[in-house]
Structure 1
Amino acid sequence: MHRASDLVRRVFEHRSGFVEGFTRRYGLKRLVYFEAFDSIRNAIQREHNIKHWPRAWKVRLIVANNPDWDDLYDVITN
């Protein structure tokens, strides 16, 4: 399984502004959605697929799992 610590590290890097791209450009700091996978290959494929979805689909996915858009960082660090 892709370790949760990898997600913690990745979220920390984004929150700290270490990573160029969308999250840094728009100052996004909250983790509002994540999925766990047994295989890194499946995780990468899912991430690639979601990146190409229309925004409305992504919002529906988040709202279905996190209707208040709570920051889930504490969930993955505890």
Structure 2
Amino acid sequence: MNKRGLVAVVVAMAIAVVVVGRVVVVVVVVVVVVVVVVVVVVVVVVVAAAVAVIEVSVIVIAVVVVVVVVGAVVVVH
């Protein structure tokens, strides 16, 4: 293999590492967001079931969910 071939292989590998790295980051971010959303939904369902009698608590839960989701999005970005 000549020097040009070697350089081409190294460059191709570097590009592959960058692309794979970005894909991995995207996958990790998606997984984290999905886990956060699932946890929030479970917590909301449990809390809503526990305090279903009080209507005001539903508003409080909604506010908490919005804050948590916005916070998660900010952390991810």
- Give me the TM-score of the superposition, normalised by structure 1: 0.30
- Give me the TM-score of the superposition, normalised by structure 2: 0.30
Higher relative contact order structure (alpha carbons within 8 Å, sequence separation ≥ 6): 1
The structure with the greater share of residues assigned to helix is 2
